[in-house]
Structure 1
Amino acid sequence: MVFPERFSNLPAYAFPRLRSLLDAHAPGGSVVHMTIGEPRHAFPDWVGQVVADNAADFAKYPPNEGSDGLRAAMSGWVARRYGVTLDPDRQLVALNGTREGLFNACLALCPETVGGRKPVVLTPNPFYQVYAVAALASAAEPVFVPATAQTGFLPDYAALPAEVLDRTAVAYICSPSNPQGAVASPGYWADLIALAEKHDFRIFADECYSEVYRDTPPMGALQAAAQAGADPERVVIFHSLSKRSNLPGLRSGFAAGGPRSIERIKQLRAYSGAPLPLPLQAVAERAWQDEAHVEQSRARYRAKYRIADEVLGGVAGYSAPQAGFFLWLPVRDGEEAALRLWRQTGVRVLPGAYLSRDVDGENPGAGYIRVAMVAEEQEMQRGLIAIRDCLYD
């Protein structure tokens, strides 16, 4: 039997690799899980009641693009948050979590050729692994662009050769970035949008961490595009309730952009997507309308930033994240550090190389570990102290 070759060189997904690295060894203390970005703050207490009130709708097939009420709530949130007005019927589609959308949007919008040549999909390195798989599934060439301390932990796409940029169909960008917590400035957005206009590619903006920040709300890609007067088809944004509302199990998100882009995504999704059940759409609709629970959760993350700064502020190379809930900590070797930490302390972290790809013999994540600040504050502080004392003292 013949299998497709385009996926044959994919490395194992990060968390199976981590289990292979650590699970043969006993933990050196009480286990503290700091690997996966699964929010553990309480979700709104009204969630269960909304599900119960709408339970009869489990008997109905849900609309694939999202109910009218849900899309109106999503577009209303975009207007309040970014000052951008969207047509909820033509410029927005509900998703079953944003990973699905980040993948299917590439299938729907990446052309077969660019100027008669194989298209390029740009992705930061380190990156959310779905970006690369979406490129391969679209028969495009993924190009991994370092997002390092030297580039402000965001990719410098403008530094790429013109030959690559002229073949580019899609550029993924994550702001706030996973894993580094960097935020794209207004200037960064303006330059990227101008580059996309010059070389005629789309920007896929993964903004799932946009509501977890220290002080200033991060600028959004649609907001920047509107200010620049860019082609509305130039940008597609992706948002989720997983981090914003501590509802990763709800699997609710959306994509928004120009009407032709969203039409193509909807068309593909009609065949390949899994719509959210109507009772869960009712929960999502209310969640997008409510900011009180988001502000409460954000206050806790701000307290966690302070804890991290206090515990790790003296560590050489420590970069306090601007947003998101990950720490990107420099070490000599990420795998060695993760294994030593597990065997000596019981703290479980992710080697940075598992989120990155080797390019020209270099892996920009190899000298880092990613630490998720999702545990209760006291447990998180204990884990960070163990990291500091084990790896840096």
Structure 2
Amino acid sequence: MFPERFSNLPAYAFPRLRSLLDAHAPGGPVTHMTIGEPKHAFPAWITDIIAQNAQDFGRYPPNDGTPELLQAIADWLHRRYGVTQPVDQIMALNGTREGLYNAAMALCSEAKDGQRPVVLTPNPFYQVYAVAAASVGAEPVFVPATEDTGHLPDYASLPAATLDRTAIAYICSPANPQGAVASRDYWEALIALAEKHDFQIFADECYSEIYRDTPPVGALQVARDMGADPERVLIFHSLSKRSNLPGLRSGFVAGGPESLRRIRQLRSYAGAPLPLPLQRVAEKVWADEAHVTENRALYVEKFDMADRILGNVPGYRPPQAGFFLWLPVEDGEAAALRLWTETGVRVLPGAYLSRETEAGNPGKSYIRVALVAPKDETQRGLSTLRDCLYA
């Protein structure tokens, strides 16, 4: 009665976490450090824009994004990456998760070289990558993104036969959960690999504006510099992390003309466009960098705080970007349960973000800790965590 292709998907991370922890009383004041939901203030003027355009909740919004929003995104891409992107090769998204899923639905071939297509995903990974692969009937191949590979997947290590069947390769940079950043050399090698084996790269860059010192290079930026096939790379961005607006559900996808045509066609039948007043907000938010600079400075303070508190922990690796810590422990589930029952600090076992393979589960010996709460709360949580797990 139900599709078999979804039968082997594990439970989503947060229901699993509730099953692990909620039968036990917290051992102290509850401190949430699990979900990556930004808690910094968003710009105060946003509510004014919504109020000024509230009457437009009574209108159907444009499917692909208002001309003003698409131009604001194009302008941002040029300022940020030096990329000149035609507005008809950009589409507004109802959050990047929608785009990362629907792009696979629109673009993954039914067969590659006469065989079942492959979708490559890093392991650990954002769960929508695996669900997208299942939805299009592709074979998901989970490639370890571990300390040995700089916490980014080494897709070039795969057999040529697998790469020849590959239709899509997902990559997240800055990486969730590890905070690793793909260098220009990494992108060049991956794009060259995709050109050789004729697959598309879906670059999830929603953490691109939270970094310590150097802005992460962009996949589309490198592809243009290389003169790669215009259809080779699609990028996905969001206002959730950049602007502390996870509830706005506003992002975008940009890529080649044929890819965007197909994604727009799917959206016209099955998509959920952003309400018009919220598109008006997004127009202004993409155009403003002052609040982004302020937001980034707050995260840099918390990066530095984490280094001070946890710097002596064996295996601690300061994140380059994003807002998660990927902390080594003996067993992630046992550590999360102990931390909850002894202190009330709530973190996510790394195994819940990874898939078990023949090589094991690369997240099993980690916990993910979100640095999204206000600074004082974050400091208390990190100090409590250190004293419980690493004393």
Q: Give the TM-score category using the shorter length.
A: over 0.9
| Cα distance in 1, alignment partners of residues 269 and 32 from structure 2 | 38
Counterpart pick for 1:196 among 194, 201, 217? 194
Q: For residue 182 of structure 2, what is the aligned residue in structure 1?
A: 184
Q: For residue 252 of structure 2, what is the aligned residue in structure 1?
A: 254
Cα deviation 1:330-381 (Å, max 9, x = unaligned): 0000000000000001000000000000001500000000000001111101
Cα deviation 1:117-150 (Å, max 9, x = unaligned): 0000000000000000000101100000000000
Q: For residue 391 of structure 1, what is the aligned residue in structure 2?
A: 389
Q: For residue 370 of structure 2, what is the aligned residue in structure 1?
A: 372
Q: For residue 204 of structure 2, what is the aligned residue in structure 1?
A: 206
Cα deviation 1:144-188 (Å, max 9, x = unaligned): 000000000000000000010000000000000000000000100
Q: For residue 13 of structure 2, what is the aligned residue in structure 1?
A: 14
| Cα distance in 2, alignment partners of residues 273 and 261 from structure 1 | 16
What secondary structure is seen at the aligned counterpart in 1 of 2:38?
coil
| Cα distance in 2, alignment partners of residues 203 and 335 from structure 1 | 32
Cα deviation 1:285-329 (Å, max 9, x = unaligned): 000000000000000000000000000000000000000000000
Alignment RMSD (CA, Å) = 0.5
What secondary structure is seen at the aligned counterpart in 1 of 2:71?
helix
Q: For residue 77 of structure 1, what is the aligned residue in structure 2?
A: 76
Q: For residue 54 of structure 1, what is the aligned residue in structure 2?
A: 53
After the TM superposition, which residues 164-243 of structure 1 pair with which residues of structure 2 at under 5 Å, given as runs? 164-243=162-241
Alignment of 1:106 onto 2:104:
yes
Q: For residue 153 of structure 1, what is the aligned residue in structure 2?
A: 151
Counterpart amino acid of residue 21 in structure 1:
L
Alignment of 1:94 onto 2:79:
no
Q: For residue 68 of structure 1, what is the aligned residue in structure 2?
A: 67
| Cα distance in 2, alignment partners of residues 166 and 55 from structure 1 | 50
Q: For residue 128 of structure 1, what is the aligned residue in structure 2?
A: 126
| Cα distance in 2, alignment partners of residues 199 and 119 from structure 1 | 12
Cα deviation, residue 55, structure 1: 1.0
| Cα distance in 2, alignment partners of residues 76 and 232 from structure 1 | 19
| Cα distance in 2, alignment partners of residues 304 and 155 from structure 1 | 27
Counterpart pick for 2:331 among 321, 330, 333? 333
What secondary structure is seen at the aligned counterpart in 2 of 1:280?
helix
Counterpart amino acid of residue 232 in structure 1:
P
What secondary structure is seen at the aligned counterpart in 1 of 2:4?
coil
Cα deviation 1:194-246 (Å, max 9, x = unaligned): 00000000000000000000000000000010111101100000000000000
| Cα distance in 2, alignment partners of residues 307 and 19 from structure 1 | 28
Cα deviation, residue 56, structure 1: 1.3
| Cα distance in 2, alignment partners of residues 107 and 54 from structure 1 | 33
Counterpart amino acid of residue 103 in structure 2:
A
Cα deviation, residue 256, structure 1: 0.1
| Cα distance in 2, alignment partners of residues 272 and 244 from structure 1 | 27
Q: For residue 39 of structure 2, what is the aligned residue in structure 1?
A: 40
| Cα distance in 2, alignment partners of residues 329 and 321 from structure 1 | 10
| Cα distance in 2, alignment partners of residues 234 and 106 from structure 1 | 14
What secondary structure is seen at the aligned counterpart in 2 of 1:6?
helix
| Cα distance in 2, alignment partners of residues 41 and 151 from structure 1 | 32
| Cα distance in 2, alignment partners of residues 359 and 87 from structure 1 | 41
Counterpart amino acid of residue 192 in structure 1:
L
Counterpart amino acid of residue 79 in structure 2:
R
What secondary structure is seen at the aligned counterpart in 1 of 2:6?
coil
| Cα distance in 1, alignment partners of residues 84 and 22 from structure 2 | 49
| Cα distance in 2, alignment partners of residues 169 and 64 from structure 1 | 26
| Cα distance in 2, alignment partners of residues 339 and 37 from structure 1 | 19
Cα deviation, residue 77, structure 1: 0.4
Counterpart amino acid of residue 203 in structure 1:
I
Q: TM-score, normalised by structure 2?
A: 1.00
Cα deviation 1:3-30 (Å, max 9, x = unaligned): 1100011111000000000001011111
| Cα distance in 2, alignment partners of residues 3 and 302 from structure 1 | 47
| Cα distance in 1, alignment partners of residues 267 and 139 from structure 2 | 23
| Cα distance in 1, alignment partners of residues 123 and 225 from structure 2 | 28
| Cα distance in 1, alignment partners of residues 122 and 26 from structure 2 | 33
**Where do 5+ consecutive residues of structure 1 fail to align?**
none
Counterpart pick for 1:294 among 286, 292, 299? 292
| Cα distance in 1, alignment partners of residues 199 and 6 from structure 2 | 24
Counterpart amino acid of residue 102 in structure 2:
N
| Cα distance in 2, alignment partners of residues 272 and 351 from structure 1 | 34
| Cα distance in 1, alignment partners of residues 232 and 358 from structure 2 | 31
What secondary structure is seen at the aligned counterpart in 1 of 2:162?
helix
Q: For residue 261 of structure 2, what is the aligned residue in structure 1?
A: 263
| Cα distance in 1, alignment partners of residues 272 and 166 from structure 2 | 29
Cα deviation 1:61-82 (Å, max 9, x = unaligned): 1000000000000111011100
**Where do 5+ consecutive residues of structure 2 fail to align?**
none
Alignment of 1:28 onto 2:27:
yes
Cα deviation 1:246-270 (Å, max 9, x = unaligned): 0000000000000100000000011
| Cα distance in 1, alignment partners of residues 225 and 261 from structure 2 | 24
